Amino acid sequence: MTQREQQVCGTYRVLARGNTLVPDYAQMKATHRLAFIARTVHRAPTVEALPLEARDAPIRARDAVEWTGEEPSVEAWVATKVPVELISAERMEPEQREAGQYNRERIAEGGLWAADAETAAACGVAFDPSFGGEYPELVRDATAPVDKGRKE
């Protein structure tokens, strides 16, 4: 999406919040697999085989071989470390506008963190630049110098 299209249509920038799983219906429709906004899935045969970062994430154990035909496994949905962009409610097409409204409602009810002040304002929530302490790597140190561009 070009910068111009983003200005006209708008996007919401979000992060996963706590252990709340917000369904990503567009991704599920495309892949026919369970998916959640701002989360990546890790699959392993057992919990012990999951990467350490995935062990505290929401987990689903799959053991119904007779129903799915798949071997038993564990799926863990880990929050992404960078904000993801979602469709905003300002889109022109009805289907995209409906998806944008769904996204706005999930942000407004607290299922997702607004990753920037513009998203927070568009969704009617207060912007928390510390993200409740969940993303310390994204919180800018107040004492860090501000990069004002390249020196020539």
Give residue 114's pLDDT.
Answer: 96
pLDDT above 90: percentage of residues in the chain: 51
The arithmetic mean of pLDDT across residues 66-92, rounded, is 83
In the prediction, which pLDDT does 149 show?
A: 44
Asked if 123 contacts 114 with a C-beta cutoff of 8 angstroms, the reply is yes
- What's the chain's average pLDDT? 83
pLDDT of residue 94: 81
Does residue 64 carry a pLDDT above 90? no
Joined tokens for residue 64: 């119904």
Mean pLDDT over 77-103 rounds to 88
pLDDT at position 6, please? 40
Look at residues 103, 101, 100, 99 and name the one whose alpha carbon lies nearest to residue 113: 103
pTM value is: 0.77
Average of per-residue pLDDT across 96-118: 93
Token output for 130: 């510390």
Please give the Cα distance from 26 to 37 (Å, whole number). 10
Mind listing the pLDDT tens digit for each residue in 109-127? 999 999 999 999 999 999 9
The H-or-E segment that residue 27 falls in is helix 25-31
